[in-house]
Structure 1
Amino acid sequence: MRRGVSGFIREPRTITLIILVVISLAAISTLGIPQGLDLKGGSIIQIQLEKPVDSATMNTITSVLDKRLNIFGVKDVKVRASGNQNIIIEIAGVKPEEVAKIVGSPGKFEAKIDNKTVLTGADIVSVQSPIIRGNQWEVPFRISTDSAKRFAEAAEGKAGAPVDMYLDDRLITSPEISPDVAAGKPVTDVAITGAESTRESAELKAKEVETLLKSGSLPVKVKIVGVSSVSAELGGEFAKGALIAGLLAIIAIIIILVARYRTPILVLPIFFTTLAELILILGVAAIIRWNIDLAAIAGILAAIGTGVDDQIIITDEVLGEEKVKRRRRRFRIREAFFIIFASAGTLIAAMLPLAYVGFARGATGIGMLAGFAFTTVLGVLIGVFITRPVYAKFMEYIIK
């Protein structure tokens, strides 16, 4: 028996599995397992464009919104298109009202003299960090040299006249034209200023203006049509419930296996193989930063259930001909794998439409189907190509 176990451990497939499990455990411990909104809390904001757009314009819009949220300081955010007129934004750990103005604003900047536009957002080269003095705020920015010359030409001879600065057609500030600029001297350093009721409000407003100036304007108008939130406490309850469901599933599996085979030498390998599949799935999720939510947990349970079924098929096929010759035993294992591959192919074929609809349409409910489908397919592929062959090889050594 010891020779059989040592020979099994030296098998290339076994060594590969051990290495992958170690890598997965390292990825989980260092990178952590990304959690979806329904586990750690957060918000979902649904945005509608004023009209349908093509794929290039949609990519521009999602890129600008993603950039805005990152500049604003939102750490865990996911922006995805939903069709050709809607966008879904998932934000973890942030209240929706804190970012609603950021994602719902076109971000169009204009500076006007005598109601004539002399500067736009395209003229901005860089934006500096906001300056807060009490409840007063200031956002300095720099314009290009050509823009500064054009601005000086428009301001020539108009010392003391206001420069009306608009953001999304709302007047933000109206600084006066300095004598130097009115004399035709180009100035590249400009600033938007304002005042709020409190220092906290001033900081938030300055951050909003900085974010909009840095990210640029959206090519079409947008509006927020839906906001939903999941509290961190409720997410914790979901996670606790999912953990309990997983433990109950494991206990049920062990009871069924013990009742069927009545020997630890057959039950424990199935359990450890299932545990290895779970570690590999979570390891892949940690590496590719795939969020584990309730739908993904359901997919993991489905994949693990399929894996246990496959291992039972292998075990029964091998034990059914325990006394046959080696050639016949390998033939029965091939028969078992034919059934396993056929079952895996059928399951993957059933999951692909869900994944396609979820990724292509991207709506909130449909997106959960994509998470379920992706995790299920991932678990099945890991089982079919990694863990099931190792388990079959283990059964050969057990019979020998």
Structure 2
Amino acid sequence: MNRKVSKFLKDYQVILLILLVAGSITAISTLGIQQGLDLRGGSLIQIQLEKPVDSATMNTVTSVLDKRLNIFGVKDVKVRASGDQNVIVEIAGVQPDQVSRIVGTPGKFEAKIGNETVLTGEDIVSVQAPIITDTQWEVPFKLSTSGAQKFAEAARGKAGQPVNMYLDDRLITSPEISAEVATGRPTTDVMITGAENSRAEAEAQAKEIETLLKSGALPVKVRIVGVSSVSAELGDQFVRGALIAGLLAILAIVAILIIHYRTPILVLPIFFTALAEVILTLGVAAVIRWNIDLAAIAGILAVIGTGVDDQIIITDEVLAGDGRRTRRKFRIKDAFFIIFASAGTLIAAMLPLAYVGFSRGATGIGLLAGFAFTTVMGVLIGVFITRPVYAKFIEIFNVGRR
């Protein structure tokens, strides 16, 4: 027995599996597992563009929205296109009222003297941090040389006249043209000012304006058509439910295997093989920052099911042989022919779901894409890493011969 154990542990496939499992545990413990919206809680905002757009315009829209949310300080945000006229924004850990105005406004900046537009968002070079004094706020920004020159020419000789500054056609402030600016001397330093009822309101308003000025305007008008939120408590219930379902599934599998093979010791390698597949799948998810949500958990459970099924095929093929080593090898090859054919069929069935989900990005389809991607990833890990190791175990130990 000791010689068999030594032979098994020295096999390169076994060594590779041990190293990969150790690396996955390290990745999970250091990088953590990215939890999806339905587990961690947060908000889902559905945005509709005023008209269908091409892929380049849609990429601009999603890029601007993602930049806005990052500037605003929102973490764990995912912005994705849904068709050619809708955008889905998923924000973990943040309630929708905090960001709805940020993602639902075009961000168009204009400064007018009278009815003449003298500045636009394209003239802004950089935006500085807001200055808060009690309930008053200031958002300084710098103009380009051409923008400063254009503003100076428009303000020449108009001392005391207001400069109406609009954000999305909403009047924000109307500072008067100073005597110095009215001389026509260009200045690149400008600011938007305002006052609110409290310091908290002033900070929120200044941060919103800073974000919109920094991120730039969206190329099309947008409107929010749906807002939903998931509480963290509900996410905890989902996790507990998934763990209970997984535990019940494992107990059912163990009972069936014991009844079928009448050899309890055979359950252990099957259990540890399935556990290794789960660890490796979660390790890959941690490295690539793949969200683990309910759909992904369903994919992991599906992988466990297909893995146990494949291990039963390997075991039955070996036990059906006459016990000779060469015969066992042929039986294992026959088993892997079935396993590869089954895996190929499953992957072929999952790929359309993954493709549609990634390319379209709709909420429901996106869940199917998460399920499909996790299932395919787990099946590939099992077919090429864990199930060959289980086959090596059965070949060397030939456990459960009757």
TM-score by length of 1: 0.98
Residue 252 of structure 1: aligned partner? 252
Correspondence 1:88-99 to 2 at 5 A? 88-99=88-99
AA at the equivalent of 1:4: K
For residues 322 and 22 of structure 1, what CA distance do their matches in structure 2 show?
Answer: 37
Question: 1:286 aligns to what?
Answer: 286
> Quick one: distance in 2 between partners of 1:202 and 1:301?
49
How many angstroms apart in 1 are the aligned matches of 2:254 and 2:105? 55
Q: How does 1:7-22 map to 2 (within 5 A)?
A: 7-22=7-22
Structural mapping, 1:188-227, within 5 Å: 188-227=188-227
Match of 2:356 in 1: 357
Q: SS where residue 52 of structure 1 aligns?
A: coil
Report the Cα distance in structure 2 between the residues aligned to 1:236 and 1:78, rounded to whole angstroms.
Answer: 21
The residue that corresponds to 1:6 in the other structure is 6
3-state SS in 2 of match to 1:166: strand
SS for the counterpart of 1:312 is helix
Cα distance in 2 between the residues matched to 1:260 and 1:2: 28
Following superposition, the deviation at residue 83 of structure 1 comes to 0.4
Partner amino acid for 1:5? V
After superposition, the C-alpha distances for 1:230-284 in whole angstroms (9 at most, x for unaligned) are 1111111111111111111111111222222233432111111100000000001
The corresponding residue for 1:330 is 329
Are 1:393 and 2:392 matched, yes or no? yes
Is residue 59 of structure 1 aligned with residue 55 of structure 2? no
Deviation at 1:322, TM superposition (A): 4.5
The C-alpha deviation readout for 1:3-48, integer Å capped at 9, x for no partner, is: 1111111111111111111111011001111111111111110000
- Other structure's SS at 1:47 match: strand
Q: d(CA) in 2 for partners of 1:279 and 1:262?
A: 28
Distance 1:380 1:267 in 2: 20
Give the distance between the partners of 2:10 and 2:175, measured in 1 at CA. Answer: 77
Alpha-carbon shift at residue 326 of structure 1 (Å) = 2.2
1:163 aligns with 2:163: yes
Percentage identity across paired residues of the two chains: 77
Question: Does the residue aligned with 2:78 lie in a helix, a strand or coil?
Answer: strand
Tell me which residue corresponds to 1:297: 297
Structure 2 counterpart of 1:277: 277
Query: CA separation in 2, counterparts of 1:249 and 1:194?
Result: 61
* Structure 1 equivalent of residue 344 of structure 2: 345
Residue 387 of structure 2 aligns with an amino acid whose one-letter code is R
Deviation, structure 1 residue 347 = 0.9
Q: Deviations over 1:216-241 (max 9, x none)?
A: 00000000001111111111111111
SS of 1:87's equivalent in the other structure is strand
Matching residue of 2:24: 24
Shift, 1:135, TM fit:
1.2
Matched residue SS, 2:91: strand
| Structure 1 residue 59, shift from structure 2 partner | 0.3
Please show how residues 56-135 of structure 1 align to structure 2 within 5 Å. Answer: 56-135=56-135
| Deviation string, structure 1 residues 359-385 (Cα, Å, up to 9, x no partner) | 222111111111111111111111001
- What corresponds to 1:384 in structure 2? 383
Query: 2:374 is matched with which residue?
Result: 375
Counterparts of 2:46 and 2:67, CA distance in 1: 17
Q: Which amino acid aligns with 2:332?
A: I
In terms of mean alpha carbon deviation, does 354-363 or 167-176 score higher? Answer: 354-363
- Per-residue CA deviations over 1:57-108 (Å, capped at 9, x if unaligned) read 0000000000000101110100000000000110111110110100010000
1:154 aligns with 2:154: yes
Q: Which amino acid aligns with 1:386?
A: I
Give RMSD over aligned pairs. 1.1
Deviates more, 1:351-360 or 1:122-131: 351-360
Aligned partner letter, 2:378 = G
Q: In structure 1, how many angstroms separate the alpha carbons of the residues matched to 2:322 and 2:10? A: 24
Q: Work out whether residues 155 and 181 of structure 1, in 8 Å CA contact, stay in contact via their aligned partners in 2.
A: yes
> Which stretch shifts more, 390-399 or 68-77?
390-399
State the match for 1:181 in structure 2. 181
Paired with 1:170 and 1:301, the residues of 2 have a C-alpha distance of 52
State how far apart, in whole Å, the 2-side matches of 1:102 and 1:236 are: 29
In structure 2, the residue corresponding to 1:384 is in which secondary structure? helix
- Which letter maps to 2:398? I
Contact 1:322 1:399 in 2 (8 A): no
In the other structure, the counterpart of 1:242 is 242
Shift of 1:351: 1.0
Structure 1: gaps spanning 5 or more residues? none
Moved over 3 A (4+): none
Residue type matched to 1:341 in 2? F
Q: Distance in 2 between the 1:17 and 1:262 partners?
A: 28
The CA distance in 2 between the partners of 1:79 and 1:175, in whole Å, is 36
TM superposition score normalised by structure 2? 0.97
AA aligned to 1:360 is S
Distance in 2, Cα, partners of 1:235 & 1:38: 5
SS, match of residue 224 in structure 1: strand
SS of the counterpart of 1:125? Answer: strand
Moved more, 84-93 or 150-159: 150-159
Gaps of 5+ in 2: none
Q: Does structure 2 retain, via aligned residues, the 8 Å contact 1:144–1:188?
A: yes
User: 2:23 is matched by which residue type in structure 1?
Assistant: I
Task: Report Cα offsets for 1:87-142 as digits up to 9, x if no partner.
Answer: 01101111101101000100000111122111111111111111111111111111
Q: Is residue 50 of structure 1 aligned with residue 50 of structure 2?
A: yes
